[in-house]
Structure 1
Amino acid sequence: MFKVFIAIHLAGMAYGYRQNVLDFCSTVINGYRSDVGCECMGKTGKSGPPGPKGDKGDEFDPSELMSQLEVLKSKLERMERNPEITFQYCLIGVKSGAIPDSSMSSSTDYNARHLAKYGRLDRTLYAGAWCPLTTTIGQWIQVDLGSPHLIKATVTQGRDSPNGSSDWATTYKVACGVTDTNLSIITEGGKHKIFQGNSDQTTKVIGWFPEPVTCRYVRLYPQTWHTFMCLRMDVVKANCP
């Protein structure tokens, strides 16, 4: 009962009922626990005057956000006009090795010489590309970027075959998302966008997204191919020099 009473009084104080200390102490101690021998001494003084109001915060200025968007748009336009900017500054790290082998995965692999980790742009080690076990729609290669990034494009190459085989993906789709269980296919005009792939073994082809997309996982699905479904790839950051 004692605990219930205290709870009621505290609730009253929280919701605006300002009971003074004498009333509260007298009621609780003298009314419910007269045997404890405690006394309340005097009444509380008046509350002091309210302090000055704080400064008003700055209002939201949309012009700053629009300025940042214009800067990003300008960078993207420069990237599209000059692919060398993309290759030198804007690749996410598949080619360079900043993305570790453990972050490269695939639906299937043709064999141990065609694993996803060999599907790096400009990689020539072993068979020179990722290739799936079978050339069927639904096969994919995926890169985990480690954290979400704003992505603008993918880059692909064909297989750099030591025996001269001509293998490359001529078209592909791209899916991306912040989790690998909830990927979305990049669309354009309400339909899955078909990206133009390669027409030889070594030429790099950039597949620009209609708009930058925030992704952690980027997955490429070859749709058509020459001889066999093989490719090397990297991912292009949207915000770069």
Structure 2
Amino acid sequence: MESATMNRLLVLALVASVANAASEVQVAIEKLAEKVAETAAIKVIEKFDLCYLGVKSGLIDNDAIKASSYYSNVYHPHYGRLDNEKSQGDEGCWAAKINRVGQWIQVDLGTVKKVAGVVTQGSPTRYSQWVTRYKVACGNNLDHLQYVHEHGGTKVFDGNSDRNTKVYNYFPKVQYCRWIRIYPLSWHLHIAMRFDLIHSQCLGLK
């Protein structure tokens, strides 16, 4: 009888030990899952937001973003920041005053930076306006901006086909420049754009 009781107690102790171990394993798995999720989120941030050169984040001052024209005060050039949204007194994008080839929007990076490309969006509003093709000029002096070239000619980039999808365009080679100027060549309904620039360390990311 004493032996049977002892065996029963040993079994109960073993069951309790296994249950505790399983609980600890479950907690460890949950913590690991949280860490994986955090790491994935960090990678997404690193892959995109940390690849941009400051237009979206506001690191670039409003005064450093200029344009050949703008439709009205609610379409000021500095409203053309990537992922900007419509708010009171702000239509969430830059829009040119007139639809004509030769319009442009530019950013002053403050110092010479290594730029790998451009990412663009259209207007976030219901008007369905965006740039479908554009070219890019850059340089260290506003009087001597040079177009990005490919195969001996000016490179023409394909732009957007809707309001919000980001379109990434990479230069044939990294550009060293302080000023970047985007020239829309064709558009849907009206010249309207949101944009940022891509850091050279992120070359090729999508």
Q: TM-score range by the shorter chain?
A: 0.7 to 0.9
The structure carrying a bigger strand percent of its residues is 2
| Partner Cα separation in structure 2 for residue 121 and residue 83 of structure 1 | 16
Q: Identify which of 28, 40, 50 aligns with 1:89.
A: 50
What's the offset of the Cα at 1:240?
5.2
- Asked if residue 196 in structure 1 is aligned to residue 158 in structure 2, the reply is yes
- Asked if residue 143 in structure 1 is aligned to residue 104 in structure 2, the reply is no
- SS at 1:102 equivalent: helix
| Partner Cα separation in structure 1 for residue 201 and residue 77 of structure 2 | 26
Partner of 1:224: 186
Partner of 1:133: 97
Q: Identify which of 76, 82, 96 aligns with 1:121.
A: 82
Matching of residues 16-165 of structure 1 within 5 Å = 85-124=46-85, 125=87, 126-161=90-125, 164-165=126-127
Contact 2:96–2:103 (CA under 8 A) maintained in structure 1: yes
| Partner Cα separation in structure 2 for residue 240 and residue 208 of structure 1 | 10
Contact 2:116–2:202 (CA under 8 A) maintained in structure 1: no
Deviating beyond 2 angstroms after TM superposition, the runs of 4 or more aligned structure 1 residues are 82-86
Partner of 2:8: none
- SS at 2:48 equivalent: helix
Partner of 2:170: 208
What's the offset of the Cα at 1:239?
2.6
| Partner Cα separation in structure 2 for residue 121 and residue 233 of structure 1 | 5
Change (3 A) 1:84 1:187: farther
| Partner Cα separation in structure 2 for residue 206 and residue 121 of structure 1 | 12
TM (norm. structure 1) is 0.63
| Partner Cα separation in structure 2 for residue 151 and residue 168 of structure 1 | 23
Identical-pair percentage: 40
Higher relative contact order (CA 8 A, sep 6+): 2
Matched residue type, 2:176: T
- SS at 2:75 equivalent: coil
| Partner Cα separation in structure 1 for residue 54 and residue 129 of structure 2 | 24
Q: Which runs of 5+ in 2 are unaligned?
A: 1-42
Partner of 1:176: 138
| Partner Cα separation in structure 1 for residue 198 and residue 160 of structure 2 | 17
Rg larger in 1 or in 2?
1
Partner of 2:22: none
Matched residue type, 1:173: K
